[in-house]
Amino acid sequence: MKIVFMGTPDFAVKALEALYQKHEIVCVYTRAPQEAGRGKKLTKSPVHVFAEEHGIEVRTPKSLRNAQEQEMFRNLQADISVVAAYGLILPKEVIEAFPMGCVNIHGSLLPRWRGAAPIQRAIEAGDKESGITIMKMVEQLDAGDMLLKGVVPITLDTTGETLHDAMAEMGAKLILEALDNWQNLKAVPQDESLVTYAAKIDKAESHLDFSEKAEVLERKIRAFNPYPAVYFEYEGERYKILRAKVVDGNGTVGEILQGSERLVIACGDKALEVVEIQRQGKKKMPIEECLRGMQFVGKVA
């Protein structure tokens, strides 16, 4: 099968790799190189790097809305386009450019968690499971008919990173399964009454609000680990919390209930005990290692 692949981050690479091994990838579309790091060096996306390493043509248009770009897209004469976390809106002319249309590898069990951050929002909300939906693409965001689903459980150990990695593996498996069984797939419309939206993560959300319940903050810590990671401030320094657990404790919001052998911080309900931490400009470490050189007293902000 001749495929145009459209994707950008690590999440999409697993699917591209799987498709490359079984099908003909005629072209890869990905986001243009972005400035990264202190030197603001232009850095190619993970999908871009994989495609170049395997001799696949790469295109990085800033938009797909102009007629010339759409004509170039059609001229590829592929059977289908597979999309995974591409990052650009696809107009109708692109979606309908191929005989088999465009299919999307979406990181949630649609119609729950349409939108930009389905992996993190599922953990943050306390969902017991998430997964992958292979869906037909339409102009409306993540609203197309569903073709195939796979479930990934969410446990008390699940983080944004571990769920991302499990989803990437499952997405690769399911897209191959979908293409292998294309003629037998049944397109199922989404129930609009069950739709929820996974809003893009705002940087301001990373600053912990200890007036919230400890269990809410613990889920957020796991959801945002490793990126963007949540933090608190203490004596002018920023500390990222990478793992924590809910414990009994009463005090004013942000009060350090214990800060020498353990780090326990009072929340709106119960308290958080920090398990893994990262000081500003340092590597992540177990809290015991951090507390060997300092102790926390008073309150955090």
Strand 2-7 relative to strand 80-84, pairing: parallel
Kindly state the percentage of the chain with pLDDT values over 70: 100
Distances (CA, A) of 261 to 32, 241, 274, 294: 48, 17, 11, 10
Angle between helices 160-180 and 10-22 (to 10 degrees): 30
| DSSP 8-state code for residue 183 | G
- Contact between residue 56 and residue 28 where contact means Cβ atoms under 8 Å apart: yes
What is the distance in angstroms between the CA of the first residue and the CA of the last residue of the chain? 55
Residue 100: is its pLDDT beyond 90? Answer: yes
pLDDT digits (tens, 9 = 90+) for 226-276: 999 999 999 999 999 999 999 999 999 999 999 999 999 999 999 999 999
- Distance, in Å, from the CA atom of 261 to the CA atom of 153, rounded to the nearest integer, reads 34
Q: What is the mean pLDDT of the chain?
A: 96
Question: Average pLDDT for residues 132-145, to the nearest whole number?
Answer: 96
Question: At 40, is the pLDDT very low, low, confident or very high (cuts 50, 70, 90)?
Answer: confident
- Give ∠ CA 2-166-274 in degrees, rounded to 5: 150
